[in-house]
Structure 1
């Protein structure tokens, strides 16, 4: 068999490669001494603390690398789940290759320099369906969602060689199960701060949970940041990262309210350009904060959200421009349409006017790895999350809105992009010096 470095083209996934220098050597060594070959490969994975990263011979120097993922498991089927694969939704993972006569599973992926992204190995992972519509339906139905989440959690196998771990919000585990791939040239990340004494958990009169974070100094008037999908922000340790950024002087001190969803599936309704969300923020959250003397003037209020929460962020600002002075949609699902049968995608962009968008300041962000085809009816051929965010930015600018920046961060549809957006966006939106 030819294990050259040539890109695999018959599979249709441009990020896959058939081999790498280290994997080619392993395959040659298998013929002479299988046990020694496996021991040597695993020793190299241990030394690399995860996947083995090597230069790509046919790429511009330093721009792209071959990443050899290695997992050992005596099972019948293993897949690699990482946004570095840049698969079109709803696909999340790619089958790995079992090396003949061993329990070693491998896959080689071409990854650009500078990327930070999570990955996990999965044994018999569940499917989100064959289309984006199937995926949205499964994530919207409580019974289907719970079955998927349970199967997803059972399937995860962390990389035993990689100590860099982050939590997986879908798994429901208190243990960090996702491993982190940090490519050469990736931005430095701050150590996480200690939230001891800085966060309180509350229930609004409606029963909705909110978490309130503020820096160590209490009793001060801080700008307010409301973040949607509070439970995902907690599992993604967004506040720990933000606390470290504040301590380092990279982000101004802010009070953060994490707005939790009523259930994992309620967000698919409440955040789908639903007027009930801005009404709840205005009638439930704001009076509660005002009673606590924690509601600053509107120009010092920022609303932030990720994915469907990013779509909801933009909608809230446009539907009730009196509530927040700044908006931070992150990896927003701007492909949304309220009626796919009659309305083309990117419905919200067509609703932008000077009257509903120009009063706020905007900071948008999206991950570079999100440049994969969405594949929903009504969208332009080749439409991606990246193209949708760029289009929405252009529409805002045309309407006269103050768009401070669009950050295209070297990560995917994941919390690394959220962390970077807060670190870069809050200084810009709140009038502090931008980060170089």
Structure 2
């Protein structure tokens, strides 16, 4: 399943914008029914001023917002499972007619519940004097009666964010937005906590600067005029999804080019070279094959897509990589396409890749955090399925890999079934997770209290992941690594100049595979966490 802020648009732009009969919708309501043979349902939405929509969808595989000419404005759901459930936050075009089109399987039940609220943008009063030399120069020009036109022309030519030298190891990066009324927020690193941009005087320039390592690699979005929403602080924080979008002056992205601006992430890539690039991701699979399968699970009570990449080599590949959140890793970030080229250039050994779909956010949140039923699915249903496909697994040459909850799941499944899975490649694992009522770092305690099994660990976390309870994923991954090391496990920790996103994870995936398969032997990194927190302060 792919949601609007992280999903992949597969062929939706090619769907006909037919002049369908749409049902008129009030500002709030609930509708349910079954898709007819067309597999399509349409709702005409109210024409309002500034607004936001909170909606719940189920039984819908695709949903898109259209303007009055039936042109796609925003993809809300794409390629979802027929039984998926989706919680959405978005806005309607201001004072313009629009409609919502839902797609699903003919004959299947759908459910649509929504509430539309008129609102205003959240006011942000905080200001800060710029540290950027270019912004300081602009500030002096404005004070002398100048304007920002030449500044923005330069940004259009050079792109954003604005990068300026600090020293041999660091750069000053300034994120910019032009012309918001009340606020702009940064979704993503380096702060990682929805940092607000500052307005330069009364001009149309909004900015925020960070001093970051010279090898920083990260994804981000910018959210102008985030609305004020009713509810808890958590609900107000989620409101960034309403307007978060790609940076209009940054052409760099790892997202598919056919995504709309709401679904596309912008890329800040300071390293000169990397394994995952838009060009390499766009390459077809030439040296192997990718097949798609549906697998039903008795243990989980559902079905999901399993994609299998197999390299074309004289002898069957001995290594097998299991990737959680497989729909994102392949459908959006084309992992098999990139690794296919790396295998052909002998930068990786031949590796089978098994991409495991996570269905939707609700079921992902139940299955990937330590869940014995999911581990049983892996051992008793997925492994036999792969054997029937002709893939022979050797424990010492299997790698469980994933990011965030997927990194946590990799370590959990290995603990439950160490006789089947011998290696863990964890990317920003959510080791803070704990069952309700228990202290944090639950999985670390399970490892400390269990026998030592024949497992190897390659752990990564981004140095920008310092927000959240207990210091964020970075500190919790370090704490997990310490428990494993004290227990006697072969383990290494690798810090990335990145945040909680696929830009850093994709590079770390390749480095981890090279280490675990014996093609590279890197020295584990143990940076000073306190120093990192100072370096990435937004006060610079």
TM-score bin, normalised by smaller chain:
0.7 to 0.9
Decide whether aligned partners of structure 1 residues 299 and 17 sit closer, same or farther in structure 2, where only a CA change above 3 A counts: farther
Q: Does 1:427 align with 2:521?
A: no
Alpha-carbon distance, 1:178 to partner: 1.4
Q: Does 1:360 align with 2:470?
A: no
Residues 354, 400 of structure 1: 8 Å contact kept: no
Distance 1:49 1:297 in 2: 48
Match of 1:413 among 500, 518, 521: 500
Alpha carbon RMSD of aligned pairs, Å? Answer: 3.3
Residues 365, 417 of structure 1: 8 Å contact kept: no
Counterpart of 2:212 in 1: which secondary structure? Answer: strand
Decide whether aligned partners of structure 1 residues 416 and 32 sit closer, same or farther in structure 2, where only a CA change above 3 A counts: same
Distance 2:156 2:135 in 1: 15
Match of 1:18 among 130, 142, 146: 130
Give a deviation string over 1:135-185, Cα, whole Å, max 9, x none.
6xx8xxxxx9xx95xx655513322322211239xxx869862111123x5
> Which 5+ residue runs of structure 2 have no aligned equivalent?
1-124, 298-302, 524-540
State TM-score, norm by structure 1.
0.78
Residues 461, 477 of structure 2: 8 Å contact kept: yes
Q: Does 1:80 align with 2:186?
A: yes
Decide whether aligned partners of structure 1 residues 108 and 17 sit closer, same or farther in structure 2, where only a CA change above 3 A counts: farther
Distance 2:153 2:284 in 1: 37
1:40: which partner in 2? 150
Decide whether aligned partners of structure 1 residues 355 and 153 sit closer, same or farther in structure 2, where only a CA change above 3 A counts: closer
> Which 5+ residue runs of structure 1 have no aligned equivalent?
1-9, 139-143, 376-381
1:122: which partner in 2? 223
1:312: which partner in 2? 409
Match of 2:243 among 155, 168, 171: 155
Distance 2:361 2:521 in 1: 35
Decide whether aligned partners of structure 1 residues 317 and 399 sit closer, same or farther in structure 2, where only a CA change above 3 A counts: same
Counterpart of 1:265 in 2: which secondary structure? Answer: helix
Distance 1:117 1:101 in 2: 30
For the pair shown, which has the larger CA radius of gyration, 1 or 2? 2
Distance 1:238 1:166 in 2: 12
Residues 255-274 of structure 1 correspond to what in structure 2 (within 5 A)? 255-274=352-371
Residues 219, 265 of structure 2: 8 Å contact kept: yes
Distance 1:130 1:435 in 2: 48
Counterpart of 1:309 in 2: which secondary structure? Answer: helix
Residues 31-430 of structure 1 correspond to what in structure 2 (within 5 A)? 31-32=143-144, 34=146, 37-56=147-166, 61-73=167-179, 75-85=181-191, 87=192, 91=193, 93-125=194-226, 154-167=242-255, 177-183=264-270, 188-191=274-277, 192-193=280-281, 194-196=283-285, 198-206=289-297, 207-217=303-313, 220-234=316-330, 235-339=332-436, 341=437, 343-353=438-448, 356-370=451-465, 372-375=466-469, 382-403=470-491, 405-430=492-517
Residues 332, 389 of structure 1: 8 Å contact kept: yes
Residues 324, 402 of structure 2: 8 Å contact kept: yes
Distance 2:205 2:126 in 1: 21
Distance 1:210 1:174 in 2: 29
Bigger shift: 46-55 or 241-250?
241-250
Residues 67, 109 of structure 1: 8 Å contact kept: yes
Alpha-carbon distance, 1:190 to partner: 4.7
Distance 1:386 1:401 in 2: 20
Distance 1:119 1:338 in 2: 31
Alpha-carbon distance, 1:353 to partner: 4.6
Residues 116, 186 of structure 1: 8 Å contact kept: no
Decide whether aligned partners of structure 1 residues 21 and 304 sit closer, same or farther in structure 2, where only a CA change above 3 A counts: same
Distance 1:267 1:283 in 2: 19
Distance 1:27 1:65 in 2: 21
2:141: which partner in 1? 29
Alpha-carbon distance, 1:41 to partner: 1.1
Structure holding more helix per residue: 1
Give a deviation string over 1:251-304, Cα, whole Å, max 9, x none.
222111111113222111112211011101112211111011113222221111
